Amino acid sequence: MRVFVTETRKLLGLRPAVGAVVAALVLTPLLTWVNARSVRAAIEGVRADVDADPAGLGVSEALLSVAASAALGVLVVWQEYRPMPEELGGGHQAAMSELAVPARIRRCLAKYVLAALAGGLVTSLALAEGTITARRVLGPHAPAMTTAQWQQDGRVVLYAVFLSLFAAGATLVLRNGLVPMVYLVASSTVVSVGFLLAMRWSWAWYLLPDALGPALIRAGEEPGMPSIPAAAAAMAGWVLLGCGAGAVFDRYRDV
């Protein structure tokens, strides 16, 4: 428990981590408010250039928090291997962590647990903000919360947890967070390489974790898209591969 608390304090002391959380929790309700106003105007006949279907409002905008979750997963590990200032002796923080907690597997597990909790919590809060904002703006036009909607929200949170864990494992393997950060954040916000490949070849749905996210959240919308259980199982496999490889590499490498 003490190791987990220490890792949490280190993460909260990182400005990029705090910035990622703040961006997710500020941009989600803001974008939802803008989109919900347009949808309400379309429902009331004020605008004809906008789809009047309110389904998905608050959820699609909350996907920004998935990118924040990936960033947090990277930063949980990357903080250990960033160069320290020369006035502090140079090197990196991993050497100090090794002296404080020699059991590497404990540190590794603490980082994975923190990555999962951070990703799940941020995404849950963003979903709550988006849902509340959408319902307030839509007013009487807001659709009823159905079981299917709650299940979809749960799958978004699960995707965020999976992606945060995979990001942590990949960063631990590489001992550098630049590539995982750029790829996973970009694939969650700008363009998903895995999704584009899956549009061409059906087997590519299982090729990369970022292709499995849309399948986990919106199964069946695209040809060849795997079912929700299949997407969840494949994503769990990627997480086990990434986290397992990270733990093994960390165990047998020098600090």
**Position 179 in a domain:** yes
**156, 123 in Cβ contact below 8 A?**
yes
Query: What is the DSSP annotation of the chain?
Result: -HHHHHHHHHHHT-HHHHHHHHHHHHHHHHHHHHHHHHHHHHHTTS-SSS----TTTTTTGGGHHHHHHHHHHHHHHHTTTSBPPGGGTSSBHHHHHHHH---HHHHHHHHHHHHHHHHHHHHHHHHHHHHHHHHHHHGGGPPP--HHHHHHHHHHHHHHHHHHHHHHHHHHHHT--HHHHHHHHHHHHT--HHHHHHHH-GGGGGTSHHHHHHHHHSTTSSTTPPPHHHHHHHHHHHHHHHHHHHHHHHHHS--
**What whole-number distance in Å separates Cα of residue 247 and Cα of residue 255?**
13
Q: What pLDDT, on a 0 to 100 scale, did the predictor assign at position 183?
A: 86
Q: What is the mean pLDDT of residues 169-190?
A: 86
**3, 106 in Cβ contact below 8 A?**
yes
**Position 59 in a domain:** yes
Give the confidence band of 193 by pLDDT, cuts at 50, 70, 90: confident
On average, the pLDDT of the chain sits at 83
**Position 253 in a domain:** no
**Position 211 in a domain:** no
Q: What is the mean pLDDT of residues 117-121?
A: 95
Per-residue pLDDT tens for 9-26? 888 888 999 999 999 999
For residue 127, the enclosing domain spans: 2-186
**111, 153 in Cβ contact below 8 A?**
no
**Position 243 in a domain:** no
Q: What does the block give as tokens for 182? A: 């750029």
Give the confidence band of 207 by pLDDT, cuts at 50, 70, 90: confident
Chain mean position to CA 156? 9
Per-residue pLDDT tens for 54-109? 777 888 888 889 999 999 999 998 887 776 655 545 556 655 655 555 567 888 88
**Position 197 in a domain:** no
**Position 232 in a domain:** no
Q: What pLDDT, on a 0 to 100 scale, did the predictor assign at position 31?
A: 92
Q: What pLDDT, on a 0 to 100 scale, did the predictor assign at position 241?
A: 92
Give the confidence band of 157 by pLDDT, cuts at 50, 70, 90: very high
**Position 245 in a domain:** no
Per-residue pLDDT tens for 213-255? 888 887 666 677 888 888 899 999 999 999 999 888 877 766 5
Q: Which residue has the higher pLDDT, 7 or 95?
A: 7
Among 127-131, 154-158, 177-181, 200-204, the range scoring the smallest mean pLDDT is: 200-204
Instruction: Provide the domain count of the chain.
Output: 1
